[in-house]
Amino acid sequence: MNSEPNKGAVHRVWKFFDHLEDHVRARLSHHPILYSLVGGVAIVLFWRGVWMLADEIGLSSISSIIISVVIMLITGLFVSFFVGDRIVLSGIRQEKKVIEKTEEEIKSESVAISEVREELKLIEKGIEKLEKIERHNHSK
């Protein structure tokens, strides 16, 4: 039996919901409070369903914790969710937390970032010039 028709149907359904999501996000993004309310209700209902399913299949609190920690460790979500990537990276770099930085330090970092952006633009322009020269040399 050929499963190709099923793949096409799944692809169409996937594409439909992808398009619908884009449309809904675009509309709701103009109404952030409504967007927050809709998202909050959906998240609470999702977790309520997960909780009730766990109860129905008889998962104990300990087994729920073990299963969730294992899944989060395998998917890389454990540290990122509970601590956050920015905190981990700032710890590795031995940076201060934003709240501990002075206004002067924050302004200094902002200026440094602007300078890096400007240098990057210059490098990009240089690369474009080199590409033009290379194209010109190949066309001869």
Q: How far is CA 134 from the centre of its chain?
A: 38
Residue 73 has pLDDT above 70, yes or no: yes
Residue 33 has pLDDT above 90, yes or no: yes
Whether residue 66 is found in the same domain as residue 105 = no
Whether residue 53 is found in the same domain as residue 75 = no
Whether residue 67 is found in the same domain as residue 50 = no
Q: Which domain range does residue 44 map to?
A: 1-57
Q: Is the pTM of this model over 0.75?
A: no
pLDDT given for residue 119 in this prediction: 93
pLDDT given for residue 40 in this prediction: 94
Residue 117 has pLDDT above 90, yes or no: yes
Whether residue 52 is found in the same domain as residue 26 = yes
Whether residue 6 is found in the same domain as residue 49 = yes
65 is written with which tokens?
A: 């914790």
- How many folded domains does the chain comprise? 3
Question: What is the rounded CA–CA span in Å between residue 122 and residue 128?
Answer: 10
Residue 82 has pLDDT above 80, yes or no: no
**Of residues 37 and 136, which shows the higher confidence score?**
37
Whether residue 52 is found in the same domain as residue 67 = no
